[in-house]
Every structure is written in C-alpha cells, then in structure tokens.
Amino acid sequence: MIKHDKWSRDCIDFINDDAITDIIKSTTEDAEKVKRILDKSLRKEPLTVAETATLIATESSELVEDIFATARELKREVYGNRIVLFAPLYIGNFCINDCKYCAFRRSLRTTVRKTLTPDETIAQVEALENSGHKRLILVFGEHPDYTPEFIAESVRNVYAVKKGKGDIRRVNINAAPLDHEGFKTVKASGIGTYQIFQETYHHATYRKYHPENTHKGDYLWRLDGLSRAFESGCDDMGIGALFGLYDWRFEVLGLVTHSIHLQQKYGVGPHTISFPRIQPAHGMEIDPQYVVSDYDFKRLVAILRLAVPYTGLILTARESPEIRRELMEFGVSQIDAGTRIELAGYTKKDDSQELNKEQFAIGDVRSLDEVIHELLTTGYIPSFCTSCYRLGRTGEHFMEYAIPGFIQNFCTPNALLTLAEYLVDYSSDKTCEAGWKLIDDELEKMVDLDMRRQVSDKIEKIRNSNERDFCF
Ligand code: SF4
C-alpha cells in the first residue's frame, strides 16, 4: 500500500461495509414506512441511511411508481424546470494509477497520451465559448506533471479566454485528491466545485480495481480528500460513485453516508452527486455481475433525489439521449452537452469517437444547440447560471438560500437571462424560435411583477446592446 506520508491529522473511515451490507440484507419492503419517508422527503428533509435503505428495498411496482412520482414532485419544488448546462474539458490523460476500468490507466500502452499545451487549452476554450458554453469542468489524470500549480494555472488560462461575447464564468475540477496546501493553491485560482469520486465505497471491491502499489490504491486518502478540501477553504464539493463496479444498493448508501458525514462535520453536504454508469472503455477489465439495468438506474436516481434534496444531481453524456431524457424528470439538475472527451476534441472536425483516445465511450454526442432545443421543447429552461458561485452563495451560504426555496426566486430569472444570451449570440434559428417562446411563457408565469419587469428590461438590453452577464 502506497501510504501518503502527508497525513497532517487523523482521519475517519466512516464507511462500515458490514453495517451497510447488514442494513441492505435486513431491510424489507414496508409500504407504511415508504409512505412516511416520502412525506418526509416532500418536506425537503434529508433522509437517513436506514430510510434510504427502505426505499432501496422497495420493489413492488406500485410503490416504486410512488417513489418516482415523489422524486418528480420534489425536483419541481426545489429545482423548478431548469437544467444547468456544462461541458467537460480534459486537460491531460497521463496517469500513474492503474484502475482496471479506465482507458487512461498506466499499464495500457495502447492509449494515446496527451497534455494540452496552454495554446491548445485556449483553442479548446474558444471553441467551447463559440458554441455558447459558460461553465466547464477540467479533468486531469493523476500524474506528477499535474501539480496543484499546474491545475491552478490551467484554471486561470481558461478564465482568461474571452472569445467575442464568450467567457467561461465557472470552472469546476475533477482531479486527484490533494493535500491541504494543494487544495489551497487550486482554490486560490477561483474554482467552483472540486469533484472526487470514490468510484466504489466497498473496500474489497476498491482493492480489486485499484492496485495497492498506486496512489489511488489508498482508499482512505481518497475518502478523506474532500474533507481536506473543506478544511483548505474549498466550499463546493462533488462526490460520486462509478456504478457497475459493485452492488448499486451499497453505493447509494455509501453516497448518502458520505453526504451525512460532510454535513455533520462541516455543516454542509456535497454541492453535487454524480452517478456515472460503467460504459465501454478501451482495455477495460470489469466483472459484469454488477452492471446496473436501466430500470435500477432510474430507481437509484429517484432515491438519491429523495435522500439529498438540496444536492445537485449530475447526469453526464455517458448515457444515451433516451436515458437522459427520462432521468431528468426524477431529479437530475445538471447535464453536460455538446461533449467531447477526447483530448483536443472540441476542435475536431467530426464527432467520431476513438476509444484509445478517450476515457470511456459516451452515449450522447449531440451538439449543445440540439440538447438546448430538446430542453426548450420538453418544458425545461436551459441555464448557464453561475451567480450563486460568483455572488458568494456557496457552501453553507448556498444552503441558507436553498432551504427556504429562495433559490427559485434567483434560479429562474438567472436561467432566463443566460438563455437569452445564448439565443442572441449562439443559437440556431430553430432553437431561437423555441427559446423566445419559452422566455415569454416563463415571464408570463412570473407572479412577482417587479421581478418580471427587471428580467424583461435586462433581456431587452441583451437583445439590443453588447451588454452581457446580468444576474440576481
Ligand atoms: S480512473 Fe483516473 S486515476 Fe484511475 S487510471 Fe483512470 S485517469 Fe487514472
């Protein structure tokens, strides 16, 4: 076991495999309990591990439909009909780890390796800005070249790109766990969320897929990663598990346990939860027995929605448009769009996928404009909002706003303003037509007449001037 000798303090392994396994085995379907738990969720109260286990143990179709219906209702209550859009940007796929499911693992000699130069990064960001994106997540393998200083410099390079009316207003990070000093360096570059996925919370499975003689082989260093990030001043955290490595029920309870741990220790839970499902990858070696069916995937998303009402749920382009369309109903609040995960893929002429250049195969290669058009014509407001992050409504301060439902008052107006920018600066005619119709309908629905006037005035400025970047 490579032990990280940078431990500055003791840390807690709050994942008890036996306890989680016992609760899964001992929890049976109980209609009365399910009803009480769904009522609690509708009061927007986070669920306990035991309550979440009860929903997981529920299999009769009628009760599962109740779970789906309640997740839909809670989603509308807390997130309204907006869907926040972002894009991933892979900066480098050199990696010293050897995760058996990943095309970037070090022992895979046939993977094409690359680290974007600053100029290449700028070219990718310009392409993303030209398509209308405002929010990015930068992705890095774990490698001595990808130091905290390198990650911070990459963030600053991205924020510095201003192509036409384009700009990136929020940069999130998906990278290896750092020590306290490392997180402080990256935080200082102005990041939003720092994402670290535990991949699997089951210790034995973790050892099976992450060789001990690799950095990532240290389960506890990774599990403690976001705690160190909180202690270093980062305030928006993203957790996640890779579904298909082990029993999905165990991973859902692992995610809920992790959320509760952060909430209890730092007063704020994760900002987002991701639930990527294993997809084909170059040279992938996994045990297929835990592959998650579409039906169980729907159940776990709905159950997560109910368990952590104020945590954003991210569904990526790993999944097909059909699955994404269906799951957005149950509680997904953020999706990527126009995604290319090949290094320098945003300046590539076609959308073909070469798996020896990508971490895994993606299921949704539609353009940003195609995804936005579908959202507009299925009752969603596409949003590029970054105002909470930029106005300091982050971490526990975000929660202050989220809990009373205030966020509704900010989210919809801000979503309409960022949508208006997209329609004026980047949209196709077809999407423009659908977009302005939705904006008119949403303004009509706005009961706060003063807010309606303020939003309308700002939209007029966006349509008739070069002024941009309004927010509440
Ligand atoms: S999953 Fe991440 S850490 Fe593991 S081999 Fe792939 S890039 Fe490296």
Ligand 1: residue of 94, 109, 142 to mutate (most ligand atoms within 8 A of CB) is 142
Q: CA-CA distance, 74 to 37, in Å (whole number)?
A: 13
> Which contacts qualify for 263-266: CB closer than 8 Å, 24 or more apart?
263/46, 265/227, 265/230, 266/227, 266/230, 266/396
- Nearest-atom index, ligand 1, CA of 216: 3
Using the predicted structure, report yes or no on whether residue 401 has a pLDDT greater than 80: no
pLDDT band at 398 (very low <50, low <70, confident <90, very high): low
Query: In angstroms, rounded to a whole number, what is the distance separating the alpha carbons of residues 258 and 332?
Result: 19
Q: What pLDDT, on the 0 to 100 scale, is given for residue 408?
A: 64
Residue of the CA atom closest to atom 2 of ligand 1 = 141
Reference 416, options 450, 391, 452, 368; nearest CA is 452
Fold type of domain 75-391: TIM Barrel (3.20.20)
Rounded to whole angstroms, the Cα distance separating 177 from 238 reads 12
**Three-state SS for 444?**
helix
Asked whether the predicted pLDDT for residue 1 surpasses 50, the reply is no
For 164-184, what is each residue's pLDDT tens digit? 999 999 999 999 999 999 999
Give me the residue spans of the domains in the chain: 75-391, 398-464
Residue that the structure tokens 């049976």 belong to: 28
Tokens of 135: 């929010």
pLDDT at res. 409: 76
Q: Which atom of ligand 1 is nearest to the CA of 103?
A: 6
In angstroms, the CA 102 to CA 359 distance is: 6
Mean pLDDT across the chain? 94
Expressed in angstroms and rounded, the spacing between residue 36 Cα and the centre of ligand 1 is 41
Q: Categorize the per-residue pLDDT at 321 as very low, low, confident or very high, splitting at 50, 70 and 90.
A: very high
Alpha-carbon distances, residue 92 vs 68, 105, 120, 141, 179 (angstroms): 39, 12, 11, 6, 20
Most ligand 1 atoms within 8 A of CB, residue of 95, 96, 218 to mutate: 95
Would the pLDDT of 6 be above 90? no
Lowest-confidence region among 29-38, 49-58, 324-333, 336-345: 324-333
Q: Are strands 82-92 and 334-336 parallel, antiparallel or unpaired?
A: parallel
pLDDT of res. 77: 87
pLDDT 10s digits, 135-156: 999 999 999 999 999 999 999 9
Average confidence (pLDDT) over 27-46: 97
pLDDT of 2: 46
Q: Is the pLDDT of residue 407 over 70?
A: no
Q: C-alpha dihedral over 386, 389, 394, 398, to 10 degrees?
A: -40
The percent helix, strand, coil of the chain (3-state, each to 5) is 50, 10, 40
Per-residue confidence at 291, pLDDT binned at 50, 70, 90?
very high
C-beta of residue 341 within 8 angstroms of C-beta of residue 279: no
Q: Which two tokens stand for residue 175?
A: 């990278």
User: Residue of the nearest CA to atom 5 in ligand 1?
Assistant: 105
DSSP designation for 338: S
Q: How deeply is 452 buried, as exposed, middle or buried, from its count of CB atoms within 10 A (0-12, 13-18, 19+)?
A: middle
* Banded model confidence at residue 244, pLDDT cuts 50, 70, 90: very high
Centre of ligand 1 to C-alpha 224, Å, is 18
Q: What average pLDDT does the segment 415-426 reach?
A: 98
Least confident of 111-115, 123-127, 395-399: 395-399
Cα–Cα distance for residue pair 98/1, rounded to 1 Å? 14
Cα separation, 45 vs 176, whole angstroms: 32
State how far the Cα of 223 lies from the Cα of 75, in Å rounded to an integer: 28
